[in-house]
Amino acid sequence: MTHTDTSGYKSVLKYYHRRSDPQLFDLIDGLRKYCPSKQVLLVQNFVTDEFLARWFDTELDEVGRRWGYGVSWLMWDRPPPPQTTGRVLTEVQTGHLQVTWNNVVFDVLRVGPDPGYGDRRSWCALSFDGSDDSKGRAFVAHVSRWNDEQNSRGDQGVLVFDRGTWETDKTFAKEVQGAEWEDLVLDATMLKNIRENVDSFFANQELYESLNVTWKRGLLFSGPPGNGKTQTIKLLLKDNAQRRACLYVKSTKGQDGQRGSEDCIAAIFKKARESHPCLLVFEDLDSLIGNNTRTFFLNEVDGFTRNHGILILASTNHPQSIEAAITRPSRFDVVHTFLPPTPELRREYATRWLSKIADTHLFPKFGDNLAKDIAENTEGFSYAYMKELFVGYLLQQAHAGAVTTDPWSLLVKQIDDLKMQIETFKKKEKEKEKEKEKEEEKVPGAGASRDRRRRIFFLSMFYRG
């Protein structure tokens, strides 16, 4: 393939140049003028620093020094706990280097990401000798396959979508790998149903196809915050990460900073379709999808482009704020409601914590009834507040430097303080809901929509399996 004369389209290209990204236009235009005898290709998110570290057999923090002429800056890479030693990395916005592959020298020019532009996408322009672009395409395929192999593992198998692109997240990966089912105190029947729903979906592709039904499904985790949704998601990611692609959506903010950018949503589902079978997670769905992109999101979920082999797992702390259109069957087929723990579960949770800290010097011997007393006095506590009860107790003991002879009195004080926090939180939530209703009443037809959401919320609160 050779470049033909496009001078007749110059005015059209200039018009496009004014309306699109001038960086890319100028990059290609300048490169073709500088080396008119070479082939030129433009590729997005292509030559990663991880690939170059392997290619040049060097450490990641040395890769930035390989790039010549351009713009770069130093950044401090803080590792996740328990590691304590950080490192200085060179973030390259623009630069040039050469890579030789299959006896072909490729000049690689990087442009982006722009720190003020709002996303993490970068572009690479390749120039190389050849009668057509086949050598460049082969090189792109080679690097892309290597990137896919790394991304399929992610960091322990999970890829995270954040700031407009897919990337690994070592801190999140560590949290996923550290999760254990034994540490989760939830309704046993509900947990069994959740795990069976996930496992049976991936095991029954042939059944779906024999019924002429698209092999896709949606699960929604609903309920007030602090009751195990996030931990259950991490455990499901851990269970599936080594067997299939796992994709976690952290943010859907696009280049313009708007929540739920259509470009971002399209990129998310494109990756999921390329990675099938896969588990695609939207945590806190109501905060990820805005009013201006809800319809676009629903179209992607419905799969105008086929969502074959995709299990969508979403969660929400505010089911009443999600439109009926999102939670209808065929989009999210099953709703699992995570409610505050029952007295029996609070007692089990307390027993586990007491057993965990009984051997420390910060807790004296306790009687068999202590867990029962705690459960009876913590009505309405979420698991998060139950955890805070024990963590707060231990911190007070540690700060005091002495062990109380009456742990129950101190625990009662902690319980009373947390009850006040819960009441304050509930009051603020009610005030927010009233303000939201006032705003909705100003919009024609909004009241009916709100009533539909309330009915969904009411029904979901009674569904625990």
pTM of the predicted structure, to 2 decimals:
0.72
The confidence score (pLDDT) of residue 370 equals 85
From the number of C-beta atoms within 10 Å of its C-beta (0-12, 13-18, 19+), residue 378 rates as buried
Question: What distance in Å separates the CA atoms of residue 272 and residue 261, rounded to the nearest whole number?
Answer: 17
* Angle (CA) 240 180 229, round 5°: 75
Query: What single letter denotes the amino acid at residue 417?
Result: D
Residue 410: helix, strand or coil by DSSP? helix
User: Could you count the other beta carbons within 10 Å of the beta carbon of residue 292?
Assistant: 12
DSSP string for residues in 220-273: EEESSTTSSHHHHHHHHHHHHTTTSEEEEE-----TT--TT-HHHHHHHHHHHH
Judge whether 248 and 281 are in contact, CB under 8 Å.
yes
Q: What are the phi and psi torsion angles at 44 (to 5°)?
A: -95, 140
Per-residue confidence (pLDDT) for residue 138, from 0 to 100? 94
Judge whether 172 and 79 are in contact, CB under 8 Å: no
Strand 123-128, strand 158-162: pairing: unpaired
pLDDT value of residue 203: 95
Q: Which two tokens stand for residue 47?
A: 């030559």
Helix (H) or strand (E) holding 353: helix 343-357
Q: What is the DSSP track for 279-326? A: EEEETTHHHHS-TTTHHHHHHHHHTSS--TTEEEEEEES-GGGS-HHH
Average pLDDT of adjacent 10-residue blocks, the chain of 465 residues: 46 48 70 85 76 77 72 69 68 81 89 51 82 93 80 65 81 89 92 95 94 92 94 95 90 63 87 91 90 86 81 89 72 91 94 79 66 92 93 80 69 90 86 74 57 50 43
Q: How far apart are CA 371 and CA 352, in angstroms?
A: 9
At 391, list the tokens: 């963590």
Residue type, 176: V
What tokens does 185 get? 């105190």
Instruction: Let me know: does 324 contact 210? Beta carbons within 8 Å.
Output: no
Residue 234's pLDDT is: 96
Identify the pLDDT of residue 269.
92
At residue 6, the pLDDT reads 47
Q: Which of 154, 161, 119, 157 is nearest to 248 (CA)?
A: 161
d(CA 375, CA 63): 55
What is the predicted pLDDT for the residue at 452?
Answer: 52
Matching residue, tokens 């720190």? 115
